[in-house]
Amino acid sequence: MTRQPQPQPPRRLRCAIYTRKSSEEGLDMEFNSLDAQREACEAYIASQKAEGWVCLRDRYDDGGFSGGTLERPALKHLIADIEDGLIDIVVVYKIDRLSRALMDFSKLVEIFDKHGVTFVSVTQSFNTTTSMGRLTLNILLSFAQFEREVIGERIRDKVAASRKKGIWMGGPVPLGYNVKDRKLIVDPAEAETVRTIFTLYARSSSTAQVVRELDARAILTKTGRPYDKTSLLKTLHNKAYRGLAVHKGTAYPGEHDEIIDEKLWDDVHEAIANNRYLRKAAAQEPSPALLRGLIFTETGVAMTPHHTKKGTRRYRYYVSMDVIKKRPKAELRGPQRLPGGMVEDAVVGEIRRLLRTPEVAARVSRTLRKDRPDLGEDAISASLTQFDEMWNALIPAEQARVVRLLVARVTASEAGLSVDLRHEGLGAIAALMAPSKPEVA
């Protein structure tokens, strides 16, 4: 008697369920949209049990992510598992759950085909292995993309119409306001802080100065961070403080109350414009040569300022007159060309170091003893240590005058730079930075 061959069990097909919802609304419910999608997919997989379909336990749920992009954590996890050979079939409730963009979906189908993965939509029956199935898929995706674009246009139109009516449409809440019933409400304490920021800037000469003042007063942004130049200027340009609602550069009267009046707003923006003009003028003005007429080679030959330009950049040097006059190289000793910025920084650094030495303080004390007998050596030493603070407050032209007052000669040699100070200049600088002379009653 011939034995009949036993039928082979179907190959086990691992099914991954992918679910997605564009908004986070309703996701905190006990049974939400993602759960409903997964339940329908699980039921479909169970109906294909005879074909060997098995539902994987891993969940690939993207709640609150748009279908117009592939930047979704669960989708990336799904693709990674496909590339690792852990999935045979991807099951979704509708194809627009996987993607609403035709180009993105084409990329996903290419990944599926490359790894032998089948794509199944529970509510839309088609087979992607045939040309007719692919045509059907492309038609459905085109309508999905069209629907997404129409929804986007409706939302943008609604936002524009609401902004024209002055309605708050969400986003980061400015310092000085709180949101109540989807409206901006003035916070009195924060509003006073905003007025302080605007007042400080209206009286200032630079953005950096205001940032330092805000840091000293421990004034923070709405998110609790210290102010920097970017966040400060963003605050100063926020027209919400004038009671306006802005949409695509156009301002409309807002529903909320203003915090900054027109005069203070105009004063601040006039100061911003002036500071911008001064910064531009300072950037365009060539930096003065601090060591003009003061720097020499070790053979006593003067080094003169020189510059070259490459594109919009300007490079400064100090060049020996031996090089400029093209004297024989055999006669040259020591460095003949030095970068301007580097050598100037080195000289100023040496001045700082010398001003802190006891020897210089003692010499300056003896020089000032006749005119300022009230100043002891300790007071003079303390005043000389304030050089950095004074230097940073000076504009380049004033810094050049201070260097000429303090420096008698700079010698550039193979061993480095040697700085000779003018002691009478040291006395003048010390007297300038020292405490005022007490008045006699």
- 249 and 359, same domain (yes or no): no
Does 258 have pLDDT greater than 80? yes
In a domain? residue 159: no
- 130 and 194, same domain (yes or no): no
In a domain? residue 241: yes
Tell me the one-letter amino acid at 252. Y
In a domain? residue 316: yes
- 219 and 129, same domain (yes or no): no
Q: What CATH number has the domain bearing residue 233?
A: 3.90.1750.20
In a domain? residue 160: no
Q: How far apart are CA 87 and CA 205, in angstroms?
A: 65
Number of structural domains found in the chain: 3
Percent of the chain scoring above 90 in pLDDT: 15
- 426 and 302, same domain (yes or no): yes
Q: Which domain holds residue 266?
A: 177-284
- 259 and 325, same domain (yes or no): no
- 310 and 340, same domain (yes or no): yes
- 306 and 334, same domain (yes or no): yes
Domain boundary among 284, 308, 337: 284
- 140 and 225, same domain (yes or no): no
Domain boundary among 259, 284, 309: 284
- 208 and 267, same domain (yes or no): yes
In a domain? residue 165: no
Strand intervals (E) in 111-201: 118-121, 177-180, 183-186
- 100 and 192, same domain (yes or no): no
95-124 tens-digit pLDDT? 778 877 767 777 888 888 889 888 888 887
Q: How far apart are CA 229 and CA 204, in angstroms?
A: 14
Closest CA to 405 of 434, 429, 425: 425
In a domain? residue 108: yes
Question: Rounded to two decimals, what is the model's pTM?
Answer: 0.40
The predicted structure's pLDDT at residue 439: 46
What average pLDDT score do residues 280-292 get?
Answer: 65
For 55, other C-beta atoms within 10 Å of its C-beta total 19
143-196 tens-digit pLDDT? 767 776 777 788 777 777 777 777 777 678 889 899 888 788 889 999 999 999
297-355 tens-digit pLDDT? 988 889 999 888 887 788 889 999 888 888 887 677 778 889 988 888 888 888 888 77
Residue 121, beta-bridge partner list: 92
Q: What CATH number has the domain bearing residue 42?
A: 3.40.50.1390
Sorting pLDDT into bands at 50, 70 and 90, what band is 137? low
- 325 and 415, same domain (yes or no): yes
Does 269 have pLDDT greater than 90? no
In a domain? residue 378: yes
3-class SS of residue 292: coil
